[in-house]
Chains A and B, each alone.
Chain A
Amino acid sequence: MKEIEDILKAKKSHLDQIQVPEELEGRLRGALNKKTKLTRVNRLKSYAAAVVILVAMLLSFNYDAIAFYSKQLLGYDQVMNASLKQLSDLGKGQSIEKSIRFDNGVSLTVDYVMLDENQLLLFYTVNDPSGHVDEDNISPIISLKAFWGEYHFQNSQGTMNEEKTEMKYLASFEPPMPFEKDLTLKFSLKQQAAEISFTLNRNTAMGHTLKKTLNKTIEVDNTTITVDSILASPTKTVINGSMQTIFELAKAQLSGEQFRPADLTLKLIANGKEVQLQGGGTSSGMKGRTFHSDYDPLPVDLENLQLEVVSFVAEHDVNQQFRLNKTSNGEKQSLNILGQVVEVTKIETSQGETHITISSDESLILSRVYLMMDGKKVSLEQTIMGKSDKQYDGTIIHTRTLRFLGTGDELDLNVQRMSYSKSNHEMLEIPID
Chain B
Amino acid sequence: MENESIQMIKRAKMGDKEVLIELIMSQKQDYYRLAYVFMKNQEDALDAMEDMILKVYENIQRLNDATAFYSWSKTILVNCCKNNLRRKNRVILIRNIPEGSHDDVFKVKDEQIDIEKHLIKLNQKYQEVLKLRYYLDMDYETMSAILKIPLGTVKSRIHTGLKKLKQSMGVSNG
- A residues whose Cβ falls under 8 Å from a Cβ of B: 1-5, 7-9, 11-12, 15, 18, 20-21, 23-25, 27-33, 35-36, 365-369, 379-380, 382-383, 385, 400, 402, 417
Contacts and interface: CB of A to CB of B under 8 A. Distances in A.
A36 B18 CA distance: 13
Contact of B135 (A11, A365, A367, A369): A11
Question: Which are the 9 A-B pairs with shortest beta-carbon distances?
Answer: A31-B50, A8-B134, A383-B98, A383-B99, A380-B100, A20-B32, A367-B102, A32-B17, A28-B53
Contacts of B29: 20
B166 A4 contact: yes
Interface in B45-66: 46, 49-51, 53-54, 57-58
A367 B101 contact: yes
B171 A368 contact: no
Contact of A32 (B20, B115, B163): B20
B50 to A, nearest CB: 4
A33 B46 contact: no
B4 interface: no
B173 A1 contact: yes
Contacts of B137: 12
Contacts, number: 110
Contacts of B130: 8
Contacts of B98: 382-383
Contacts of B89: none
Nearest to B24: A28
Interface residues of B, number: 45
Given A21-B42, A32-B17, A379-B105, A27 B100 contact: no
Contacts of B37: 15
A20 B134 contact: no
A30 B53 CA distance: 10
Nearest to A385: B96
A2 B162 CA distance: 10
Given A4-B166, A4-B169, A8-B115, A15 B36 contact: yes
Interface string B130-152: 10001111000000000000000
B128 to A, nearest CB: 13
B20 A365 contact: no
Given A367-B100, A383-B100, A25 B21 contact: yes
B1 interface: no
Contacts of B100: 366-369, 379-380, 383
A1 B21 contact: no
B154 to A, nearest CB: 16
Contact of B162 (A1, A27, A380): A1
Contacts of A385: 96
A400 B115 contact: no
Contacts of A380: 99-100, 105
B11 interface: no
B25 interface: yes
Contacts of A36: 17, 54, 57-58
A7 B116 CA distance: 10
B108 A379 contact: yes
Contacts of B134: 5, 8-9, 11-12
Given A365-B101, A366-B100, A32 B21 contact: yes
A377 to B, nearest CB: 11
A423 to B, nearest CB: 18
A228 B165 CA distance: 52
B25 A25 contact: yes
A30 B17 CA distance: 11
Given A4-B171, A11-B135, A21-B32, 6 more contacts: A4-B166, A20-B28, A28-B24, A28-B53, A365-B99, A366-B100
Nearest to B168: A4
A385 to B, nearest CB: 6
B92 interface: no
A20 B42 CA distance: 9
B70 to A, nearest CB: 16
